[in-house]
Amino acid sequence: MKLPTDVTPRPDIEDILCDLFEKKAVEIDPTPVVVTELPQDYEFTIQDRPIITIRKTTGSGTTDHQVDASFIELAVVYRTRREAWQLLNYLAAWLCSLEGRADMGPVRLAAIEEIKSPVMPKWVDPEHRRVQADFRMDIRRPR
């Protein structure tokens, strides 16, 4: 789709975060799959590889048209509780360490806050462990 260039649209934070997490995922063994929505056949994937889901749940719009505050749900689904927790705890710590210094393409991570620590919500199949944490991310838009 081609859009006019008279305004700068809000960045797609899910897309930006997927790119960032895909770069990090190659350092993890087995390499996780990074998605915004869990695939229907996820139970086959988690036999060999964890799945990381990234989803924007809401946001507060812009401040002075420069900063977007997004609320992000980061989740891991994997074959065991221990492995899912281990990966989510690592990813949460890594994500929080990026404040003010992450290369996020067209935007800069101005601030990040873990607003809900990792939990294991009820899931469709209790054998497939899903853990999640929620973050507020302020990203500075390009001028």
Asked whether residue 2 is domain-assigned, the answer is no
Per the structure, the complete domain to which residue 102 belongs is given by 13-140
Asked whether residue 1 is domain-assigned, the answer is no
Closest CA relative to residue 132, chosen from 88, 69, 78: 88
CATH code for the domain of 111: 3.30.2000.30
pLDDT one-digit tens code per residue, 54-91: 999 987 765 566 788 899 999 999 988 889 999 999 99
- Residue type, position 71, single letter: F
| Domain count of the fold of the chain | 1
Per-residue pLDDT, 125: 64
- Residue type, position 101, single letter: R
Alpha helices in 1-143 (DSSP H): 13-25, 42-45, 81-96
* In the block, residue with structure tokens 């949460």: 92
Asked whether residue 3 is domain-assigned, the answer is no
3-state secondary structure of 102: coil
Asked whether residue 34 is domain-assigned, the answer is yes
Per-residue pLDDT, 103: 67
C-alpha to C-alpha distance for 132 and 121, rounded to whole angstroms:
8
pTM > 0.85: yes
How buried is 21 (Cβ within 10 angstroms: 0-12 exposed, 13-18 middle, 19+ buried)?
buried
Which tokens in the block code for residue 92?
């949460």
Asked whether residue 8 is domain-assigned, the answer is no
Question: Which range is most confident: 5-9, 11-15, 26-30, 63-67?
Answer: 26-30
Asked whether residue 5 is domain-assigned, the answer is no
